[in-house]
Structures are given as structure tokens and as C-alpha cells.
Structure 1
Amino acid sequence: MTQFCFNRSIRIPMVCLLAVIALASRAPAAERPNILLAISDDQSWPHASAYGCQSVSTPAFDRVAKKGVLFNNAFAASPGCSPCRAALLTGRQTWQIENAGTHASSFPLKYRTFPERLGEAGYFVGHTGKGWGPGNYKVDGREQNPAGPAFSSIRTKPPHGGIRNTDYAANFDAFLEQRDEGQPFCFWYGASEPHRTFEKGVGLKTGKSLDDVEVPSFLPDTPEIRSDILDYCLEIEWFDTHLARMLDRLEEIGELDNTIVIVTSDNGMAFPRAKANCYEYGIHMPLAICWGDRVPGGRSVDDLVQFVDLTATILDAAGLDVDSLDLTGRSLVHVLESEKSGQVDPERTVAFSARERHSSSRYQNLAYPIRALRTPQYLYIRNFRHQRWPAGTPQKYEANGELGPPHGGYHDIDACPSHTFLVENRRQDAVKAFFHLAIDPRPEVELFDITSDPGCLVNLAGSPELAEVESRLREQFEEYLTRTGDPRVVNPDGGDVFETYRRYSRLRSFPVPAHVQEERDRLRGEGWTYLFDGESLDGWRVSGPEDSFEVVNGTIRARATSDQAHLYYVGPEGGADFTDFELVFESLARPGANGGVYFHTSWQETGFPNDGHEVQVNNSHKNRTRTGSLFSVVNIDESPVEDDVFFTQRVTVRGKHVTIDVNGERVVDYTEPDDYSHPRYTGRDVDHGTFALQAHDPESVVFYRNIRVRRLEPSEDGGE
């Protein structure tokens, strides 16, 4: 029997009422606090005057710290803008949010953000300036920035070059004017400062002193570097100025004490070996939080804080049941409400950070994947593709197609005077070591004692004296990343799924790496022909929607935009025909994807090919014909490989004999009978023809790369 609550003549089903209450909040609306999250762009700890930094003045940040808590050990989820912001928005580590966990990609709709959750719970939500980005949130079906509706239309005249003209504080006022009386709000203040570029020399021009600068130990202590740091500090002060106006506004309207104010940054300073690196100056962030009388003020806390903890804190303070949400972080509310300083929660002694691709800095947009574990004393780093250039390939092709200068690359370092200084003075004895620190290849494992080496200069990995420490950190590292499902650790080859995520910002072109070119030359010498050059679809022709196939990071991405589509190899001269051959290709199937590669087929305008046979690529689609199958002829019902991992298939045809190997293991050995006739497609037989890649349906995404073929001489008996 359905129960009802009665209020005069209104009847509401009890189950619905309970659901609404649970969704909105565990606390009455009047008790729910407002939330102001202020996040600068590229600011390292300890660059705020509350931390004792002499080269910058941040009275608003200091006000929040004095009124509440100054955190000494807050760590960004990533040393890059969009992945760190995505982790903060979702409460999940960057390796748990697919495309959103890498730089300038997309933001899958299935990952809920705290502004979305708060909006559903009755909060008035908005953002000004930089929300989530860079990237393309619309491609996944989002209608607005994941940080909430934009309030950025009010402009101002910037005092200096390099500063945006967005009047952040005025836009906050406009936001407040639009909310209903008594409605709690959540506002994301995302300054674009102190992101590059800066007006060169503006710090000195405005009266700052070179003597006040403390140069990090990984940079040369020169007037040029000091001046660049002063310019950076001036932009931090611009961020702080708008924060001060927002705090004053909240105080004027009587809302400051009912507002949780969180002030931090997204990643470290845009200098060599800081931003885009998991070293201390890339991931260690300023953080101050106040919340009226709920938070005893004037405290300095040493607990290690992860950005995903901030998400849980916001939702917990707003009254949502964080235990029922799919969050990785843990709420800090009990730490905030404590009267203790120093280490408050004895369990908060570890933090993690990660990066994949940052800028377009390497051949085929390859990443430099890093994972880092930080404890109160040590920083443990794993560089998963340490053979690559950590700061990016040294040389690139210019826009006109010509090869640029030898040191014109390194695009994981923002263009800036400090970068230019290192490159131009790299041969000088006083600079040489700093240049190589920034750009040289790194070992797979790095270990630093942060208490004595905050600049991360002396790698202690492999040191006999620290063998026990390193072993313990490695176990912590692997346990956490395994438990939280990091593809880089769960499956040694699984992390390559990150390489498939499309970058929506500018793409650069780089020379083919020497080892790649050597391998290609060797295979060509053995009679192999590459059917896909990694850059274009030259030699291929689409049947079906043209946009079902695109080149992404050196792969062919197959995803039908409506019905099925096929990409036929027609060859450089417009025709291709193969009888006996070896075909080798690598593919990666996203979860639930169905795809395949046809051989001995021929071009047709629409539909599934009538000719040839299909080698299946399908690990988890509802169609149970799995990877390696010779579709509808020799069917495999259990995939030999996993989703989200590149694997290699080798198809060999001699006469009527077909073999299929997956990662070197034979899964099909089939000889077609002379009287064979396919029950549905009359041309589905072993004969001759070309190859075709399949885009099966809009929900199936498959990537193909390193597609090559070698013609074989037929044997007399038609076998191998």
C-alpha cells in the first residue's frame, strides 16, 4: 500500500518525498553553506605571502588563511590544467575519468561534476573566467562548461599585458544578483592568471625588487630568471585582487560567514621543470579554506590533501551523502572543524598526482605518462615511457613544412623568457646543467627527499641506504593505483588507451623517431608495405558516412556516425588486389565495441561487404563473436585480449588456407572447402581482393594502427 503525507489537500507519495529530500540535502536549506572556489592558473606553493614568500603580496589569500586553515601540503591531481580541473570537478583521479584525464581532450558526460550535483540539490551554480579547460566539452553532449553556467560577460581594462580583460569580481556580483533570495550558491572563480604569457619586465616596472625573489634550485639564479618570476608574482596579485573584492562583497551582504571559501591553484608555475612535471613545483599547491565559525581560524595544517578530497569536502559540507557517491577523495570537514594544527588526521600521509599528454609535443601526439606518490618526506615517481623526451621532442616541423631549429621544440615547457634563456645559454657553464635538467631523458623511477631537496635535483632511486624506503613506497604506489583502476598499472599495456584520446587544441608535426624509422625500413626490406602512414587516409576510401573514420594520434579511429561504415584500401593508384598475403595490424577496442577487418573484399557503396571474410575485433560487444574469429566461419566465444589495450592480429592467407594469430597465439587455422558457400553473402569466400576496416555502429569505437601487408608466393598445395 502506498503511503501519503497530507498537507491540507496536497498528497505526495512518501517514497517520492524521501527521494527529493535525499537528493537535495541531508540538512535544511537554511543551514546549507554557500561555496566559493577560487582557483588560479599555474601557481606553485609557496607563492603566497601567508607562506612567507617575499616577492608576492596576497592579502585576500592571507585573510582566508587567517580566518580558517592554511594547508601546507595540498597536491594537484595533475600538473596540467584540464586534467587537474576535471579531477577536482568529479572527485575522481585523472586515470579514472578517461578522456578528461588528459590535456585538451573531452569530458565524458557520464562523469558527474560537483556543480551538477549541487545544482540538482537546489544550489544556484555558476562560474567566471576559466572553468574546465582547455578542451571540448560539447563533443560529449554537454551544453555548458562542467564548472557551471558562465558569468564572464563583464569586461575591464587590464592594467598590464598578458592579463585577461574579464572582470571576475564584477561577474560574481552579477551572479549573486540573479540568485533567488535565500538560495545557497556555488561559484567557481577561475582566473586565467598567472598563466603565460606575462608582460616581460612588468614586475620591475611596478616597483618589485629582484632581491625579494627566491629562485628555485632547478633554475639558474640570474637577473633574467628573477625578473620572469616577478612578472609571474604580479599576475598572482591580480588573481588575489579580485578575490579580495569577492570577499568584501560577501561580507557586505552578510554571507561571508555562511560561505566555504576555498582558494588554491590547478598546477605549478609555468617554468621549466615545474608545470607539466610531477616534481614538487609542478604539483604542490597553495591552499587556504575558511567557513565562518565552523572552522577555528589561524591554524596551519600539515595533512596531505589531494584535490579529489576537495570535491568530497564541498559535497559533504553541502549536506550530500558523499558515501553514496562514486568519489575517490575523502572529505576534509572533520579536519576543518578540528581545533588542531600540524597533523590533524593521522591517516592523511600520502597524496597522488599523474599526467599523460600535456601539449602537442611529440610524434603522433604521444604522451609522457607519469604517476607520483608524495609522503611527508619523499616523492616517488614512475615515468612509464621514460624513453621519450620529458619536455617534448627537441625539434619540430614549422607551419611551412620545413624542419625547425634543433632546439625549437620542448613544447611541454610553456614559451617564456626562462625557457628561452635556458635554450640560448645552454652551452654556458653556469646554465648548462639547468638546461639538461629541464629537457634530458629521465629514468623510469625517481625518488627525492623533499625535506632536503625540494627542487628534486638528486635522484635517490636505487640507493642502497634507501632500499627499504623505496620498496615501501613502491608497494604503496602499486596498491593504490591498482585499487583505483589505473590502466598504466593494472595492465602494463593498458595505458596506451590514453594515447587514443583526441586533442582538440593545436597539433604540431614532429620528425619520425629514429627507432620507428629503423623498424619501418627493416620491415620494408623484408617485403612489407604500410597501408596507413599514421597521418592521413591517403589510399583509403570510405563507404558510408565520411566522418566515421578519422586519424587520431597516429591511429585510424573507427566509429560509425549513423549506420555502419567501411574504410576500403584502394591503394596509392586507386586500386588494390591481394591473393596470398600476410596482414598485420594493431587494434584497440573500447568497452562494448564491435569492429573488424575484411580481406579479399571489394568496394561497395553501402552496407556490409558482400565479398571476402571478416577478422573480428570484439572483446565485449553483445555480439558474442569475439576477437580473432573468422566471422560466421570459425567463431571464438571468449576474447583472448582485453578492452582498452592495443593488440596485434596477423592474418595469413595462402590459397584456401587461413590462419589468424592474436598477440602471437594461433586462434584460427582454417582451410576453406572447394564447395564452400556462405549462407548469406555469396561472395564471402577466400579468393582475392582488398582490405576494409569496419565501423560497426555509433556505440562502437575501435582504433587501428601499424597496418602492413606482405604478398606471399602461393604454395602448390594451397597451404603454408
Structure 2
Amino acid sequence: MLIDKWWKGDQSVTQSTQRPNIVFIFADDWGRYANAYAKFEGPDSINALIETPNFNRVVDEGAIFTNAHVPVPSCTPCRSSILSGTYFWETGLGAILEGGRWDESIPTYPLILEEKGYHIGYTYKVWSPGIAEDAPHGGYRAKYEPSGNKWREFSIEATKLVPEMGVEAAKEVLYDETRRNFASFLEDVPEGDPFCYWWGPVNTHRVWEKGSGKDLWGLDPDKLKGKMPDFLPDVHEIREDFNDYLGEAQAVDAGIGIILEELDNIGELDNTLIVISGDHGIPGFPRSKANLYDIGTQVTLAARWPQNIQPGKVIHEFVNLMNLAPTFLEAAGETPPDQMVESLLPLMTASTSGESSFGSGYVITGRERHVALSQQDGKPYPSRAIRTQDYLYIRNFAPDRWPSGHPGELIDPNIVDPEKMAELGAFRGMRSSVYHDLDGGPTKEWLLTNRSKPDVKPKFDLCFGKRPAEELYDLKSDPDYLINVAGDPEYSETVKELSSKLLKTLQDRNDPRLEGENCKFEHPPFAGPVEAKWYEERYSQIEDRKRRARANSSKHLKSQ
């Protein structure tokens, strides 16, 4: 096959005359949980307990990133940022979750590639919740889900089938769903055209089957003893909850294997840039999702592209997932729009570690509103952070607000009765009537029920209590970010330096948060009650999606 080369800055990219396919595997709520990371963490790490052979294969045949972070640890704004290649605060109402709307004037990498001749498509989740769902990737016209989406609740659906057919056969039913969905996309690609595909499983988002980590995947929850972050009580109930999540991560890995296999079957595996990651950390655990600590922002990231990415490459530079949009465009031979951030392509394709000048040794993350009524007045919990090799500095712009949401009735420490917890909705489903920004589940239930006990209260207060305007953690001595040293005179110069770097980025990228009381994120439609119209449109959108799914499934079955 003929080989061409084009130049991006000072980096040469080798590519066949057929433009590369782009496949992005992006799991909901999947933090930095893959066995390949145990190599960097040691045998006592959580990642040493799980098996992710397909992610590991991509790492062995491509590159792994050890310091990858999301721009914002909340589904919709994170995805807004990644699809547009900009900071989340630059995406209009895409910067919030509940009440989010996509601005179709914002360029996104899938739609740019479509204009340039790529066939685009996706399965499961791309951009949601929001209006209009998945719009940055073509909306419903680009959706390929004829075999359904039972993968959404993998452990729940598999568990239903186990009595009838056994564990492995039950999982195969769901594997076949992903295989058929992907095959339906591949069948639609015009001969000779490159394609851009997004596989977005959501099973790592709650809810999942209690005990499924052990029952479906053979993971022992009590092997997590002594391995979870120190701010979590090390009790069986929380270990089991974490363990069940790790089982869902192994399901994602099985899906990765299916995508790789199908690409290989059609002879396109080695002409495809494959990138794998997740949109933020573990849900239902405090200080994670919707928080700017590592457990909330740090994620898996690996890439495979033979002839361009050296096998076994390890990339330690700090990267932000919003850098992926320009990366995909440059890999396809296209010039990213001026507003996009820096591409990762030179870093990925550099033959030596010193060959690329990417980055500045840190990443900037942030958040605005997650759940609309998390604060009683519908306001956000606004924060920005800078993460370097040794430090995490967080600026909380409204320290008078509750970081995990208002406690509601549970502001009274004497309310601990489990039945009362259920009445308050503290652990029924994903949303709760208290601490709204923390998804419901066994961990939240246990923490709320036991929050007043002497050995639990310090950890509960650390996780759920109000936070000061500035936080600084010395990660060399405090990897679990337990001790805030922002007020320690010994660290005053560090605070000044990191605050200055953070402020410069916010100024350079016109972050509205710097406008004080005039900040748009403090006013409707970014804050306050979400209009009823938004919920009506979202409900109508969901019902329309179900109707189309039924019609497509029926059509697909008739064609077989």
C-alpha cells in the first residue's frame, strides 16, 4: 500500500492513502480503573485486582497515559468540552448538566469529519442529559442501536439471565448486543469511506446489581480491604459497592474486545486510531464524581494506531481529554478550528519523550452546576483546580455552599433511622433528596446512616462538609488529599504560584467565573429552577428515542 506523509508542526505522521478511521470508546463514569495501571501503582493497588486484557492489549500495542484528566467531572459538560475541543465554560448551556442545551453553532470533531467525507455513527451515550440529546455527534440520525441497549444495566440484565443459562452465557447475550450494534454501523459505511465511531457504554454509571462484582466476575470485595482511599470507611458494605463497580469496568473491557475483534474481521484494525477513556470518576462515592480531586477527574486513557504510535509507549505528561477533538481532526489530516485547544497528536507520535513540547506540566479542571436542586436555590458549586505532579490546588468560589449538595433534613445529626433514610430518598435510585450531587447507592446509604458515629464523623465531615475558598494538597505526602495545607505558611509560595497559573488560564480563555456577581453561571438559565419546558422536551425526546428504537429493532429483525 502506498504511504504518504503530512506534517503537523515539527511532527511527521505516517498514514496510508486511505484516511484513518477514528474509533472513540468512552465509558460513562469510568475512572482510572484498568489493570494496566497496576504497573505504575504497585501490587497492592486496586487495579492489581481486576482483569482488563483488552484495554491492556491496546496499551501494549499503543500508548498509555498515566496523567489523563477530564475537563469537568460531570457527564454533560465533560462531553461538551471533549466534543468541541474547548474548556467547558466556552460551550454555553453545555457547561451544565441539568438544564443543558447544545449550541449547534459550536464546531465538534464528528460533524467536521462528516463534512470532510467521514461516515459518522455512535452506539449508546454521546452527549446527555441535555437538549438535543447526542446533537454534537449527529443526533438520532447517527445512532446505531438496532439490537437495543440492555448493556446500560449490564449486571442487572445479566443477573436476570443467569438462572436460565449460567453466568458466561448470560454475559454473551449482552456481548452479542454490542457486536450487532457495531456491525449495523459498519454495514452502513459506504465502500472506501473512512468512518468515525463512538462506543459509549453507560453500565459503569449507577445502578448496578448488588453483589455482581463477585457473582458475575469472581471479584472478592474483601480483597479491597486496605486499598480504598483513606477518606472512605473500610467496611464490607462499601468494599462490596466498589467491587461491583469494578465488575462493570470489566464488562466495559469485554466490549472493547468486541470492537477490536470486529475491526480486525473487516481488515480495518490497523488503519484505525482507537482511543479509550471515561468521562469522570466512580459514581456514588464521596469526593469523586462532581469533585475536583483525582478520584473524580483522573481517568484511563490509551491509544492505538500502528505505524504512528510506538507499541508500549508510556506518556506521563499531564493531558486533558478536551485535547482529543483536535487530535482526531489532525489524525484525519484536517486543521482544527482556532478555538480548539492543543492536539495530542505530536505527543502520541513522538518517537522519544523529549521530541514533543506538549503541555505545561499541569491540567486545569473545574465544575459549575451538576444537579439543578443540589443547592436549595438552584445555584452551582463553582470550583476550578490546577493539578501538577506534586500538588492539587482548588479554588472554591462559593465556600458558603455545600459541595455535595444541601443536606436537607439530615442537617440534624440525630436522624439516622434507615427507614427515615429511605423516606428521604437517600439511596433510592441515582438521585436523592439530600446531597443531590452524590448518586444514591449502598455507600451513600451507609455513610448517611452511620455519619454520627465517632469513628465515622471525621470522614463524613471531610466528604460532605463545607470547604474553604482555597484547598492545597501536597500529594507527595498526602496522596488521598486528606490534609488541606493552603493556610500553612510553609506552602504560601506554592499557593501563590499555582493560583497565578490557574488565574492566567481562566483569563486567557475568558472564564465567566471571574466576573464575580455578574457571572452568567449565577443567573438563569444556568442557575435557579430549570424551566418545565426543558423537562417536557427531555421527556418527549426520551419517548421518541424509545419509539424509534422499537421501530428500528423490528426492522432489523425482519431483515435477518
Q: Bin the TM-score by the shorter chain.
A: 0.7 to 0.9
Q: Which residue of 2 aligns with 1:49?
A: 35
Q: Which residue of 1 aligns with 2:91?
A: 97
Q: Which residue of 2 aligns with 1:530?
A: none
Q: Please say if 1:259 is aligned against 2:272.
A: yes
Query: Could you tell me which of 308, 320, 323 is aligned with 2:334?
Result: 320
Q: Which residue of 1 aligns with 2:192?
A: 182
Q: Conserved in 2, the CA contact under 8 Å of 1:312 and 1:327?
A: no
Q: Percent identity?
A: 35
| Change in 2 beyond 3 A, CA 1:182/1:236 | same
Shift, 1:430, TM fit: 2.6
Residue by residue over 1:390-421, the C-alpha shift from the partner in whole angstroms, topping out at 9 and shown as x without a partner, is 11011179xxxxx9599950010000111111
Q: Please say if 1:126 is aligned against 2:140.
A: no
Query: Could you tell me which of 212, 232, 240 is aligned with 2:245?
Result: 232
Helix, strand or coil: the match of 1:364?
Answer: coil
Q: Distance in 1 between matches of 2:219 and 2:529?
A: 49
Shift, 1:366, TM fit: 1.4
Q: Which residue of 2 aligns with 1:32?
A: 19
Q: Distance in 2 between matches of 1:127 and 1:379?
A: 35
Q: Please say if 1:152 is aligned against 2:145.
A: yes
Helix, strand or coil: the match of 1:161?
Answer: helix
Q: Which residue of 1 aligns with 2:467?
A: 442
After superposing the two structures, state which structure 1 stretch, 183-192 or 433-442, moved more.
Answer: 433-442
Q: Which residue of 2 aligns with 1:581?
A: none
Q: Distance in 1 between matches of 2:74 and 2:294?
A: 13
Partner amino acid, structure 2, of 1:367? P
Q: Which residue of 2 aligns with 1:658?
A: none
Shift, 1:44, TM fit: 1.6
Partner amino acid, structure 2, of 1:384? F
Q: Which residue of 1 aligns with 2:156?
A: 161
Shift, 1:496, TM fit: 3.8
Query: Could you tell me which of 516, 533, 549 is aligned with 1:492?
Result: 516
Shift, 1:465, TM fit: 1.1
Residue by residue over 1:566-598, the C-alpha shift from the partner in whole angstroms, topping out at 9 and shown as x without a partner, is xxxxxxxxxxxxxxxxxxxxxxxxxxxxxxxxx
Q: Which residue of 2 aligns with 1:115?
A: 110
Shift, 1:344, TM fit: 5.4
Q: Distance in 1 between matches of 2:522 and 2:115?
A: 31
Shift, 1:552, TM fit: 9.6
Q: Please say if 1:218 is aligned against 2:218.
A: no
After superposition, residues 468-617 of structure 1 pair within 5 angstroms as 468-489=493-514, 491-497=515-521, 499-501=523-525
Q: Distance in 2 between matches of 1:78 and 1:143?
A: 17
After superposition, residues 220-369 of structure 1 pair within 5 angstroms as 220-270=233-283, 271-322=285-336, 325-340=337-352, 345=357, 347-360=359-372, 361-369=374-382
Q: Conserved in 2, the CA contact under 8 Å of 1:116 and 1:148?
A: no
Shift, 1:343, TM fit: 9.7
Q: Distance in 1 between matches of 2:208 and 2:133?
A: 30
Helix, strand or coil: the match of 2:460?
Answer: helix
| Change in 2 beyond 3 A, CA 1:63/1:462 | same
| Change in 2 beyond 3 A, CA 1:107/1:433 | same
| Change in 2 beyond 3 A, CA 1:431/1:111 | same
Q: Distance in 2 between matches of 1:252 and 1:312?
A: 29
Query: Could you tell me which of 466, 476, 487 is aligned with 1:462?
Result: 487
Partner amino acid, structure 2, of 1:135? G
Q: Distance in 2 between matches of 1:96 and 1:354?
A: 12
Q: Distance in 2 between matches of 1:49 and 1:404?
A: 38
Partner amino acid, structure 1, of 2:114? G
Q: Which residue of 1 aligns with 2:52?
A: 58
Partner amino acid, structure 2, of 1:221? D
Q: Which residue of 1 aligns with 2:414?
A: none
Q: Distance in 1 between matches of 2:310 and 2:20?
A: 16
TM-score (normalised: structure 1): 0.62
Q: Please say if 1:424 is aligned against 2:449.
A: yes
Q: Which residue of 2 aligns with 1:592?
A: none
Q: Conserved in 1, the CA contact under 8 Å of 2:77 and 2:97?
A: yes
Q: Conserved in 2, the CA contact under 8 Å of 1:302 and 1:343?
A: no
Shift, 1:218, TM fit: 1.9
| Change in 2 beyond 3 A, CA 1:188/1:313 | same
Q: Distance in 1 between matches of 2:92 and 2:357?
A: 31
Q: Conserved in 2, the CA contact under 8 Å of 1:302 and 1:341?
A: no
Partner amino acid, structure 2, of 1:50? A
Partner amino acid, structure 2, of 1:222? V
Shift, 1:29, TM fit: 8.8
Q: Distance in 2 between matches of 1:193 and 1:342?
A: 39
Q: Conserved in 2, the CA contact under 8 Å of 1:301 and 1:342?
A: no
Partner amino acid, structure 1, of 2:346? H
Residue by residue over 1:507-542, the C-alpha shift from the partner in whole angstroms, topping out at 9 and shown as x without a partner, is xxxxxxxxxxxxxxxxxxxxxxxxxxx879xxxxxx
| Change in 2 beyond 3 A, CA 1:156/1:266 | closer
Structure with the higher fraction of residues in strand conformation? 1
Q: Conserved in 2, the CA contact under 8 Å of 1:302 and 1:342?
A: no
Query: Could you tell me which of 75, 82, 87 is aligned with 2:81?
Result: 87
Shift, 1:380, TM fit: 1.1
Q: Can you give the 5+ residue segments of structure 1 that lack an aligned partner in the other structure? A: 1-25, 398-402, 504-533, 537-549, 554-720
After superposition, residues 651-666 of structure 1 pair within 5 angstroms as none
Aligned residues: 474
Q: Conserved in 1, the CA contact under 8 Å of 2:111 and 2:138?
A: no
Partner amino acid, structure 1, of 2:478? D
Q: Conserved in 2, the CA contact under 8 Å of 1:395 and 1:405?
A: no
Partner amino acid, structure 1, of 2:144? F
| Change in 2 beyond 3 A, CA 1:468/1:99 | same
Larger Rg: 1
Shift, 1:337, TM fit: 1.2
Query: Could you tell me which of 174, 191, 210 is aligned with 1:200?
Result: 210
After superposing the two structures, state which structure 1 stretch, 454-463 or 70-79, moved more.
Answer: 454-463
Partner amino acid, structure 1, of 2:488? S
Helix, strand or coil: the match of 1:109?
Answer: coil
Q: Distance in 1 between matches of 2:472 and 2:55?
A: 32
Helix, strand or coil: the match of 2:261?
Answer: helix
Q: Distance in 1 between matches of 2:355 and 2:228?
A: 29
TM-score (normalised: structure 2): 0.79
Q: Distance in 2 between matches of 1:225 and 1:345?
A: 42
Q: Can you give the 5+ residue segments of structure 2 that lack an aligned partner in the other structure? A: 1-12, 39-46, 159-172, 411-422, 427-431, 535-560
Q: Distance in 2 between matches of 1:238 and 1:266?
A: 16
Residue by residue over 1:290-331, the C-alpha shift from the partner in whole angstroms, topping out at 9 and shown as x without a partner, is 101211011211111111211111111111112xx1333211
Shift, 1:497, TM fit: 3.4
| Change in 2 beyond 3 A, CA 1:55/1:342 | farther
| Change in 2 beyond 3 A, CA 1:298/1:358 | same
Shift, 1:364, TM fit: 3.0
| Change in 2 beyond 3 A, CA 1:342/1:463 | farther
| Change in 2 beyond 3 A, CA 1:351/1:208 | same
Residue by residue over 1:647-677, the C-alpha shift from the partner in whole angstroms, topping out at 9 and shown as x without a partner, is xxxxxxxxxxxxxxxxxxxxxxxxxxxxxxx
Q: Conserved in 2, the CA contact under 8 Å of 1:37 and 1:189?
A: yes
| Change in 2 beyond 3 A, CA 1:156/1:374 | closer
Shift, 1:240, TM fit: 1.1
Q: Distance in 2 between matches of 1:156 and 1:501?
A: 32
Helix, strand or coil: the match of 1:429?
Answer: coil
